[in-house]
Amino acid sequence: MNLIKKLVTISLILTILITTTSCSVKEQKKYSAQFLELFNTITEIIAYSDSKEDFSAFAQLIYDNLEEYHKLYDKYNNYDGINNIKTINDNAGIKPVKVDQRIIDLLLFSKNQYQQSEGKVNIAMGSVLEIWHEYREDGINNPETASLPPMEQLEAANMHTDIDKLIIDEASSTVYLSDANMRLDVGAIAKGYATEQVSQIAKNNGYKNFLLSVGGNVRSMGTKGPKKELWSVGIQNPDKTSEKKSLYTLSLTNLSLVSSGNYERYYTVNGKVYHHIIDPVTLMPAEYFTSVSIVCEDSGLADALSTTIYNMPLEEGKALIESLEDVEALWVLPNGEIKYSEHFEELIKQ
């Protein structure tokens, strides 16, 4: 059964439930919350709850767990009593680092995505991405002197991106970078992966109907409101000059939507925009598309795939998506043309 047929089946089940539910059931109200501290982005929660107190407890559960993942996957900051991605990088070529199982799980997932994508998404590219980050930050803060990193510097850093030198010992829960100049950067996967894990924690704690967005990594659970409607989620228009802020609105339940594009974390050099999604082959920002979007159940997979197909020519990306079960994609080309996978258009809200 494909993804669209599953949605239709769910809708039919919901219709039956609605017609047989007692009218005496108390109607839930819509609540929302936002916070800015985690994963350097905006997190938004929307849910229908019996009371403000119930929603507050739910929002606190989301925040507390997401904060833990934020600290574990942070490559910039140290935290008391926590070995995180930064700790692993700081000990590259020195010693293995004992880490939380949640780091082990993320790294194993990331290694698998590296293999599945044939290297298009590589968390071992930190040494290259660090250089781009420095030039991008300087270009944002000092636009009049913005410049590109020298290719010689990027190529030298690229000598230290062999993911096989990421040594994971599951038995002892340790991680070791055998190349002293290697650095991990989990930015292409971590937000989506954490979003999925926290959503599952919420579900296991009895929260079945909510929408969680972590910097645009959107996870829908269940349905919204007393009418049990599907969640409405927009796809951002990558064209900042357009008055139309969203390309489309999708109807989702128990699905994730993740988009990647050139409209995020970019700077300008000599009138040309350079964004943060770096092609591991050219070591330059990928130029196949202005935006791509992935819809599938798992937000971590959606996050990884959005980077993967952003770094692939259209036909190659289409072939990959069609080979995967219950995954749909949308591509926006530089000329504004929009392409879909086979069933994506059926998700668009009418």
Dist CA 32 CA 208 (whole Å):
15
Dist CA 103 CA 98 (whole Å):
10
How much is the average pLDDT of 99-124?
A: 98
Does residue 25 have a pLDDT over 70? no
For residues 215 and 41, the answer to whether their CB atoms sit within 8 Å is: yes
CATH number for region 85-177: 1.10.3980.10
Q: Check residue 216 and give its pLDDT.
A: 85
The residues, ordered by sequence, that sit 6+ positions from 122 with a Cβ below 8 Å of its Cβ are: 114, 161, 163, 280
Dist CA 166 CA 10 (whole Å):
42
Dist CA 323 CA 158 (whole Å):
30
Of the listed ranges 9-23, 70-84, 96-110, 277-291, the one predicted with least confidence: 9-23
- Does the annotation list 169 as a binding residue? no
Q: Check residue 3 and give its pLDDT.
A: 55
Dist CA 96 CA 88 (whole Å):
8
Q: Check residue 9 and give its pLDDT.
A: 42
Exposed, middle or buried: residue 90 (CB in 10 Å: 0-12, 13-18, 19+)?
middle
Topology, domain 29-75+188-347: T-fold (3.10.520)
Question: What letters, b where the CB count within 10 A reaches 16 and e where it falls short, cover 134-147?
Answer: ebbeebeeeeeebe
Dist CA 290 CA 333 (whole Å):
6
CA angle 166/136/63 to nearest 5° reads 65
- Cα 217 → chain centroid: 5
Taking only the tens place, the pLDDT of each residue in 26-52 is 678 999 999 998 999 999 999 999 899
Query: 221 forms bridges with which residues in the sheet?
Result: 210
For residues 122 and 163, the answer to whether their CB atoms sit within 8 Å is: yes
Residue 222 main-chain phi, psi, to 5 deg: 60, -140
- Closest listed residue to residue 275, CA positions, set 86, 132, 144, 106: 132
Taking only the tens place, the pLDDT of each residue in 217-227 is 999 999 998 88
- Does the annotation list 188 as a binding residue? yes
How much is the average pLDDT of 130-155?
A: 98
Q: Check residue 27 and give its pLDDT.
A: 79
Strands (E), the chain: 29-35, 43-49, 97-98, 166-169, 174-177, 210-214, 217-221, 231-236, 246-252, 256-261, 267-269, 272-274, 291-296, 328-332, 338-340
Question: What letters, b where the CB count within 10 A reaches 16 and e where it falls short, cover 293-329?
Answer: bbbbbbbbbbbbbbbbbbbbeeeebbebbeeeebbbb
Dist CA 35 CA 41 (whole Å):
8
Does residue 5 have a pLDDT over 70? no
Query: 256 forms bridges with which residues in the sheet?
Result: 219, 296
Residue 247 main-chain phi, psi, to 5 deg: -75, -50
Domain ranges in the chain with CATH number 3.10.520.10: 29-75+188-347
Strands (E), 253-315: 256-261, 267-269, 272-274, 291-296
- What order do you get walking across the sheet with 97-98 strand by strand? 97-98, 174-177, 166-169
Question: What letters, b where the CB count within 10 A reaches 16 and e where it falls short, cover 99-117?
Answer: bbeebbebbebbbebbebb
Residue, of 299 and 24, whose pLDDT is higher: 299
Percentage of residues in the chain having pLDDT higher than 90: 87
Domain ranges in the chain with CATH number 1.10.3980.10: 85-177
Q: Check residue 7 and give its pLDDT.
A: 47
Q: Check residue 2 and give its pLDDT.
A: 57
How much is the average pLDDT of 189-197?
A: 98
Return mean pLDDT, the chain: 92
Does residue 74 have a pLDDT over 90? yes
How much is the average pLDDT of 94-98?
A: 99
Residue 293 DSSP symbol: E
- Does the annotation list 307 as a binding residue? yes
